[in-house]
Amino acid sequence: MKRRIHITITGKVQSVSFRSEARLQARSAYLKGWVKNNPSGTVEITAEGEEEDIKEFLRWCARGPLNSIVEKVDHEWQPYVGEFLQFQAV
């Protein structure tokens, strides 16, 4: 079943290639959406795709790339919209 998720990641998640790695992970899982850095120091993600693929991506977000330190991952499941053509860093 297709789903949508909104994720906010807190910790040392900027200047550690989190966005570019998240884009690679999402694309390899056939997810579509976006990832961006927020002025607050968090990383924000909206992703759509198959629920199991999103769950795997969410597990990756809890680890992050090599130099990151993920302290907290907040997420909210949302209804699938189908508005994205690809996954991109914005």
Check 4, 19, 23, 59 and give the catalytic one: 19
Which one of the listed residues 37, 38, 59, 67 is annotated catalytic? 37
Identify whether 67 is a catalytic site residue.
no
Q: 18-28 and 51-63 helices cross at what angle (nearest 10)?
A: 150
**Contact, 75 vs 52, CB < 8 A?**
no
23 is catalytic: no
Query: In 3D, which of 16, 13, 71, 82 has the Cα closest to residue 46?
Result: 82
Residues identified as active-site? 19, 37
